[in-house]
Amino acid sequence: MTAYRDAMDAPVPELATRAARCAERLRAADDLLLASHIDADGLTSAGIASTALERAGIAHDVVFEKQLDREAVERYAAADYDAVFFTDFGSGQLDVITDYEAFTPVIADHHQPADAAIEFHLNPLLEGLDGGSELSGAGASYCVARALEGDDGDNRDLAALAVVGAVGDMQVVEGELIGANAGIVAEGVEAGVLDASKDLAVFGTQTRPLPKLLAYASDVPIPGITGDRNGALRFLDGLDAELREDGEWKAWADLDTAARRTVVSALVQRAMRTGVGADEIEALIGTTYTLCGEERGSELRDASEFSTLLNATARYDRAAVGLAVCRGERGAPLDAARDLLREHRQTLATGVDVVREVGVERESHVQWFHAGDRLPETVVGIVAGMAMGEDGVEAGVPIIAFAEKDDGGDDEPGVKVSMRGTPRLVERGLDLSTVAAEAAAAVGGDGGGHEVAAGATVPAGRETDFVAAADAAVSEQLGS
């Protein structure tokens, strides 16, 4: 029943006291609701929390929300819960939550806290840690899970899910997880559930056949390979390495060390020959987080592929499927998740064509497009990010995307806004979370998010005013 012996045993020592207090309150709960954010980080948060609660013998219901608004909090208050455990959200809505006295809130989050104090609140920002890059919602939940440790284990195996959450929230900095996240990685490695090693930093190392892997890798564009399947085929065919098995292309994960070395050094040579910059070439290599307990060739084995699988459930209102996978269920839930992933890929692929068809407008400091009802509001941001650098979309200019909100017809019409920047722009001073908040406020909407990715909801018809306000805000941040 004891929480970890002292702070030095905790995955994040700065948060040990808060974690122990949260854990203690959860143990005392009679009727507990676990409420989490509906994205990859929120799903892994709920997976960690739910598993740890179950191991501790604490019964609970689980609910997911796209956004934690007053209506949701009111619903919880009207039900018979004496405590609600909020994961991956809650801090930003503290002012609303504290309006209700029907339940005790327990919060494990990493978003900017609103101005209100509560007793059971774990958030890296409260202890001077960076909630954008050093700890995710899943990491915050993991801290509480570790404090819930009991006779049947210390929950260190859940570190793997915490890493999936951090990767899903794009917390990787220059190729690796840092700060408190790195401490969690170390616990996972020690527990034998995680491997962290330097490898080719490209999405799809477990599941994509080599030509597709290289042709689709757009983070570091290499002329003659990126976006060019035939070019990638010619490149691979020219290498002296065992890259096929029974005539079929292998996946990266199936290559031995020698073959990997051959491919990487040829890639680097090609990049140098075609004028790719030195720091971009360096970005080809990063830390790969592998979940050792999962089968080779499964999406679940790679943290980045796992998080995309979860997004494919969460962004289409199928969070229960993603949660089941996070809780270790295989078979039907995993099959369902894989079907959703196939559809998600299809949506993303056609999404980039939609951007081309509706056309991107260039302002002085931003570019923008309006997808209307042709893209779901939940993926328009992902598509905007993927479209950067494609035909007709500049790579080094923040992009704003609009999509009609699907309100089931009963709410006031709103428009979803998604914004995406690049790490390079953030280095130069871009903070899209401020841009989203300010520009939304200017047109009577609501927005926020991260420096590199933000979103908002604005009233229909105010899109061009939003663009103008955002253009001005970005201009101020980046200078003219």
- Summarize as ranges the residues that interact with ligand C5P (CB under 6 A): 39, 169-170, 203, 308, 311, 345, 348, 381-382, 385-386, 418, 420, 446-450, 452-457
Distance between CA 279 and CA 257 in Å, rounded?
24
Report the nearest approach of ligand C5P to the CB of residue 5 (Å).
34
- Residue with the closest Cβ to ligand C5P? 455
Report the nearest approach of ligand C5P to the CB of residue 24 (Å).
29
> What does 88 bind: Zn ion, ligand C5P, none (CB cut-off 5 to 8 Å by kind)?
Zn ion
Task: Kindly tell me which of 67 and 262 has the beta carbon lying closer to ligand C5P.
Answer: 67
Residues 6+ apart with CB under 8 A from 202: 213, 214, 217, 219, 252, 284
124 binds Zn ion, rule: CB under 5 A = no
Report the nearest approach of ligand C5P to the CB of residue 450 (Å).
5
Distance between CA 40 and CA 311 in Å, rounded?
5
Task: Kindly tell me which of 88 and 149 has the beta carbon lying closer to ligand C5P.
Answer: 88
Task: Kindly tell me which of 149 and 305 has the beta carbon lying closer to ligand C5P.
Answer: 305
Q: Can you spell out the DSSP letters for 295-313?
A: PTT-GGGBHHHHHHHHHHH
Distance between CA 333 and CA 426 in Å, rounded?
38
Report the nearest approach of ligand C5P to the CB of residue 345 (Å).
4
> What does 25 bind: Zn ion, ligand C5P, none (CB cut-off 5 to 8 Å by kind)?
none
Tokens 């949506």 map to which residue?
A: 347
- Residue with the closest Cβ to Zn ion? 41
Task: Kindly tell me which of 203 and 249 has the beta carbon lying closer to ligand C5P.
Answer: 203
> What does 381 bind: ligand C5P, Zn ion, none (CB cut-off 5 to 8 Å by kind)?
ligand C5P
Task: Kindly tell me which of 92 and 224 has the beta carbon lying closer to Zn ion.
Answer: 92
Given 33, 36, 41, 50, the residue binding Zn ion (CB under 5 A): 41
> What does 435 bind: Zn ion, ligand C5P, none (CB cut-off 5 to 8 Å by kind)?
none
137 binds Zn ion, rule: CB under 5 A = yes
Report the nearest approach of ligand C5P to the CB of residue 6 (Å).
33
Residues 327-349 as b or e (16 or more Cβ within 10 Å = b): beeeeebbebbbebbeebeebbe
Rounded CA Rg of the chain: 22
Distance between CA 324 and CA 329 in Å, rounded?
5
Tokens 């995680």 map to which residue?
A: 194
> What does 319 bind: Zn ion, ligand C5P, none (CB cut-off 5 to 8 Å by kind)?
none
65 binds Zn ion, rule: CB under 5 A = no
Alpha-carbon distances of 184 from 157, 161, 175, 211, 220, rounded to whole Å:
10, 10, 16, 34, 28
In this structure, the strands spanning 361-362 and 367-370 are antiparallel
Given 65, 88, 149, 299, the residue binding Zn ion (CB under 5 A): 88
Report the nearest approach of Zn ion to the CB of residue 143 (Å).
14
Report the nearest approach of ligand C5P to the CB of residue 284 (Å).
15
Tokens of 462: 């105010």
Stretch of 62-70, 164-172, 357-365, 439-447 lying at the interface with Zn ion (CB under 5 A) = 164-172
Report the nearest approach of ligand C5P to the CB of residue 110 (Å).
9
Stretch of 11-19, 84-92, 147-155, 258-266 lying at the interface with Zn ion (CB under 5 A) = 84-92
Helix 319-326 vs helix 303-314: crossing angle, to nearest 10: 150
Residues 102-137 as b or e (16 or more Cβ within 10 Å = b): ebbbbbbbbbebeeeeeebbbbbbbbebbbbbbbbb
- Nearest CA to 220 out of 168, 278, 297 is that of 278
Q: Can you spell out the DSSP letters for 108-133?
A: E--SPPPS---SEEE-GGGGT--TTT
Distance between CA 50 and CA 59 in Å, rounded?
9
Tokens of 258: 């020698």
Task: Kindly tell me which of 178 and 186 has the beta carbon lying closer to ligand C5P.
Answer: 178
109 binds Zn ion, rule: CB under 5 A = no
- Can you give the binding site for Zn ion, defined by CB under 5 A? 41, 88, 137, 169
